Chain A
Amino acid sequence: MERVSVQTNVLQANQELAAENRRLFAAEGTLVINLMSAPGAGKTSLLEATIQGLRGRYQLAVIEGDLQTDLDAQRIRALGVRSHQITTGTVCHLDARMIARALAEFPVEGLDLLVVENVGNLICPASYDLGESLRVVICSLSEGPEKPKKYPVMFHKADVVLLNKTDLAEPSGSDLRELATNVREVNPKAAIFEVSCRTGTGLDHWLAWLRDAIASRGVAIAART
């Protein structure tokens, strides 16, 4: 029997493809957001609010990831924004290859911002780099304050964490301060925004931050390349 040293990252193939996607996005100067959360935390609602806040000034597009249906892509198209649906079948996350395939039929030329809405899941998407510039994670108050402690890897890797459904803090008995503290403990560096996509509260801070990120996207893109 012979021992062969391998020393290879299991996700290396994905990381190589993600690097190719990243080069393509950098060449176009497109800021790319990988948007992740548990199912029902408000990814598509945040997208709708974000599109309404940015529309007219920027070229935007959305790639939607779901196991089944193109319902989310339809919601985005209803706002007049180009969207592409990836249905993963049974796969619980998007990977860099799925994005590369989508880009073959969904070009990013001239885009300021591309948002990839990942499959609703706080576990698996954390492992797969898609070639994004920024990782944005949403946690809603109605999920309770302990999600960052239960899914620390996802929250640790986020650049931005949005605490959504602040209007439901009281009826759901969740403490917004406790949730923010729990995010801060696993990720002391993330930008945190408290929003309600339903009432619109706090969205102006997020949109101002995002406009700055788009304006200075060369820096964000370079940091990941």
Chain B
Amino acid sequence: MHEISIAQSIIEIVEAEARAANSTNVQTIKIRLGEFTTIVPEALEFAFEIARSETLAENARLEIEIVPMVVRCVTCGPVADPVRCVCLICPQCGLPLEIISGEELQVEYIEIESEVERA
């Protein structure tokens, strides 16, 4: 259950960005989360509810986009559905597969209310 640590890291990144943009009110946080990570979206949402209190993201909504796992073989090209069979060996030629996406854990953007809007 390291989603708490992950949620705290998200808050740190978001607070720094909000301060740099002179905002004290973060409304949306958009996360890109790969399928091939050890982070469970539901657990991250729950951890975020706890981590956001008394921060600039106190009122923020967490939007999580799940990035599918995509793999390819250097010789045979794309391979379908590697997660279900958890096999990173090319079914056609037996070479190791390359992971193209699915390992993301990224804050993509935040939506903030500016001080002018508040006033």
Contact = CB atoms under 8 A, between A and B. Distances in A.
Contacts, number: 99
Given A123-B2, A186-B86, A188-B88, A3 B13 contact: no
A123 B6 CA distance: 13
Interface residues of B, number: 37
Nearest to B31: A10
A187 interface: yes
Contact of A11 (B9, B18, B112): B9
B100 interface: no
Number of contact residues on A: which range applies? Answer: 20 to 34
B37 A153 contact: yes
Contacts of B2: 91-93, 123-124, 127
Interface string B13-42: 110011001010001000100001111000
Interface string B81-119: 000001111000001110000000111111111100100
Nearest to B83: A152
B39 to A, nearest CB: 8
B108 A6 contact: yes
A12 B104 CA distance: 12
B89 A12 contact: no
Contact of B106 (A3, A10, A92, A123): A10
A179 to B, nearest CB: 14
A6 B13 contact: yes
B96 A10 contact: no
A4 B105 contact: no
B94 to A, nearest CB: 9
Nearest to B102: A153
A81 to B, nearest CB: 29
A71 interface: no
A156 B96 CA distance: 11
B105 A185 contact: no
Nearest to A6: B107
A153 B87 contact: no
Given A4-B21, A91-B5, A11 B105 contact: yes
Contacts of A199: none
Contacts of B1: 92, 124
Given A152-B86, A187-B88, A189-B96, A4 B108 contact: no
A26 to B, nearest CB: 25
Given A3-B110, A127-B2, A185-B88, 8 more contacts: A1-B112, A2-B113, A4-B18, A8-B13, A8-B107, A123-B2, A153-B38, A184-B89
The 9 closest A-B CB pairs, nearest first, are: A124-B2, A188-B96, A185-B87, A6-B107, A10-B105, A123-B38, A152-B86, A149-B86, A10-B9
Interface of A: 1-14, 91-93, 95, 123-124, 126-127, 148-149, 152-154, 156, 184-189
